[in-house]
Structure 1
Amino acid sequence: MLFPTLTGARQCQGGHAMGKLTVKRVEALKKPGLHGDGGTLYLRVAPGGSKQWVQRLVIDGRRHDIGLGGWPLVSLAEARDIAFKNRRKARRGKDPLAKRRRAKAPTFREAAERTYDGLKARWRSEKVRRTWWQQMELHALPRLGDLRVDRIGRGDVLAVLTPLWTSKPEMGRKLRARIKAVLAWAQAHGHCDTNLAGEAIDGALPSMRGTGRNFRALPYHEVAAALGMVQASGASVAAKLCLRFTILTAARSGEVRGMTWAEVDPEAATWTVPADRMKAGKEHRVPLSGAALDVLAQASELRDRRSDLCFPSPRGGKPLSDMTLTKVLRDNGLADRATVHGFRSSFRDWCAETGKPREIAEAALAHTVGGVEGAYFRSDLFDRRRVLMDQWAAFLTGKGADVVALRR
C-alpha cells in the first residue's frame, strides 16, 4: 500500500498545495533544520547554509525522504509541482521512487564492499580488517547479501541479529554496528531512507544479557557532524559546552551536569568523579583529552560565583537539567535519532569497529563487571584509557579519521 501524508496544507486550483513558505522566506531562512511548507514538502537548511528540497511520503508503511533538488536551482514553485506529482502517483498506487530505485540501488553485499573499502584504511590491525569481513560473510550476507538495500525490511535485519543478541551479545553488538555502518553508507548515497539497524529495531530486539535498556544512538561516524550542528545552534553556551564535554568523555550526563571545579586537576588532565556521584558507587578517574580541556577552558570564562559547578544553569547557578540537553538535540532535529545517553553507545560502537580492546572501552564507560574480568578491571587501566580518549577526541575533531555528513 502506498499513501502520502497530506496534512497541514490547503489546496489551490489544480491541486497544488498553498504552503507556508514564500520566496522571500526561503531566501531568508538561515536556521539549520527542516522547515515545512505544509503537506509533504520541506526545505532542509544545512549548517553550512545550503538548502535542499525534501518530500516526506509514506510508502509501503515506511517513511521516505525524497530529495527534490537544491534551492535556488529548484524554485519553490517547481518543488511544489514535483511534490504534487509524487503525491498524485502515490494516491494512484504507484511508487514515486520506483524508477530511481531501479536505476541505482545496490545490493547489501555491494554496499558492504563499498563500506568496507572505505573503513579498512583506518584500521591498522590486519586482524580487525579480516574479522570485520569474515563476520559479515558468516552472519549477515547469507540473509541480506543479495537484497537491494532499499528492499531490506526490518524483519530481515532482526532475523540476522536476534540469534546472536542473547547467546553472543558482544558479537551481536558488533554485527549490528557493522550492518548499521553499511546502511548508513547507503543512506548517505541516497539508496535508502531509513537505517533499519538503528533505533528502528530497538524495541524489537530481546533484552541483551547483562545490559540495560537501549537508547537511541547515532552511528559513530555521524557524531562529529552532530557536534558541529550543535555548536552552530542558538542553544545556551553552557548547554552546548556541557553536551560537548559529555560526548568527548563518554561520561553519563548526570556526572557531567553535577561536575565541580574541585573535581578537576587541569595540570594532570584528570577529572575525578567521587563515589557518591557514580552509578557503581566507586570513585572514577576520567582522563581528559586536549579537546575536553579546551571545553573546560571555555567554561571557566563563564564561571558563576554562586556555584562551583563547571556547567551551571544560567538561572541561579544550579545544575543544568537533563531536559536542557535533550532540548538542544530536539532543537537541532536530532531527538528522534539520538539521546544524550545514546552517545555512550556511539562511543562503544566506535571502539568495537576500530579494534579497541573491550576491557579498555568498558573501563572508559565506568561499567561494572564481575568474575575474572572484574579482577582485571581493578588493575590500572588509566594510562590506556587516556590513549583511547585522545583517539576518540581526534576522531570527533577530524584529526583521526574521516567522518560523514549527518543524516537527518
Structure 2
Amino acid sequence: MKRKESKPLTVHFVRSVTESGRHYDATIRGLFLNVKQSGSKSWVQRVMIAGKRRDVGLGSYPAVSLAAARKKALANLAAIAEGRDPLAEKKAARQAKVVTPTFAEAAKTVHDARLPTWRNKKHGKQFMATLVTYAFPVIGDMPIDQIGREHVLRALVPIWTTKPETARRVRQRIRTVFAWAQAHVLIEHNPAGEMIDGALPPMPKVKAHHPALPYGDVADALAVIEESGAWPMTKACFRFAVLTAARSGEAREAEWSDIDIEKATWTISEKKMKAGKEHRVPLSNAALDVIEAARPHRGVTGLLFPSPRGRMLSDSTLSKLLRENGIAAVPHGFRSSFRDWCAETGVRRELAEAALAHEVGGVEGAYFRSDLFEQRRRVMDDWARFLDGEAGGKVIRFRR
C-alpha cells in the first residue's frame, strides 16, 4: 500500500479523505490513518519494540477521533521509552477481560463435555445432583479462581463423617471440575486435591459385618469407580464382575478364549470354578460393552483384564480399588447385593442361585438338572438395565 506524504492531519481531512492508503500524521511519530478501498478507516501506529518494527492498532475511525488517536499514540511512545511493550500490555488487558466462570458454570461445562462418554444417563445426573446438593450452596456462585481450600473444606467437613461415601463422591467430583480449570489455565492448584487431606477428619471405618452395599447403591458405586483415576482394566474388571455377579477371582482370571461374542456367553472352566464345575454366564449388552472396551489392552497373555504389566490383576486389586474410593463394601459383597436385588424383584430362588453358581442341594437340586441358562439371560439383562437406570425404580416381577 502506497505511503502518503507526512503532514499534520486535520479533523476535516480525516473526515473527508477517501483515497486509500496510509496517511501519516507528522505530529506524532509513526501514527497514520489507514484508508481501505472499501472506505473504512482505522488508526495504526508503527513503532520499534525491542528492535523490531511493529504495528499497533489504535481503533477504527470515527469511533476513535484524531485527538484520541494522538493521545493513545503518545502513551505508547512513553511506554516504549520506559522499556515496556504496549502490544503485550494490550494483549494482557484483553485476556484479563475474559470472564472467569463460577464453579457452577465450570461444573456444567465439565458435565456436558463428559456426558457422551458416560455409560448411562443416570451417571450424568448423579454427577450434577451431588454437586448441586453439597457443593453449589457453598462455592457454586464463586469465580473458580477465587475458591481456596477453606471453601472446599466448608462444603466437605459437614458430611465427611456423617455421610462418608457421599462425601468422597462429592470431593472427587469437585476435584474433577478443578482439574478441568487447571487444564484451561484458570487456576494453578487444585484446592480439592491432596493438600486438604490433613484438614479432613478421619472417616469412620467400614464395619466388618457390612461388606455389601444395598442393591440400590450399586449403580452409584459403579459411577464412582468409573470417575476414579484407577487403571482402566481394573475398573473394567470390577464392572464386569458386578454385571455378571461373578466372583472377583473368576473375573480376574477371565481370558479372551473364554468369551463367545456371537453367543454372548462367558464359559468358566471347572479349573477356575470354586465348585469345580464348568459354569456358563450369559452376557448382557452392558457386559459385552466392557469386553469391547478392553480389546485395545489385549496382550500376549490372553487375559481379558490384564494389569499394567500384562499380568493377572492381584487378588487385592479390586479390594484396594473400593477402599481407595470410599466404597463401604468388598468385591464379594456385590454378589450379595445382586442376590438381594433378585429377592426384592421376584427372581425365583433357583435362578438367583444358578446365576451365582451356587449348588442347590436336596430334592430341589435334584429336580433342577438344567443350568437354566436362557432364563438366567433375562435375569442378567434386567440386572444390567437396573444398574443403567432403565428400570426407573420399578420392581420387576418374574412369572413362575
Compute the TM-score of the two structures, normalised by the length of structure 2.
Answer: 0.50
Higher relative contact order (CA 8 A, sep 6+): 1
TM-score, scaled relative to structure 1? 0.49
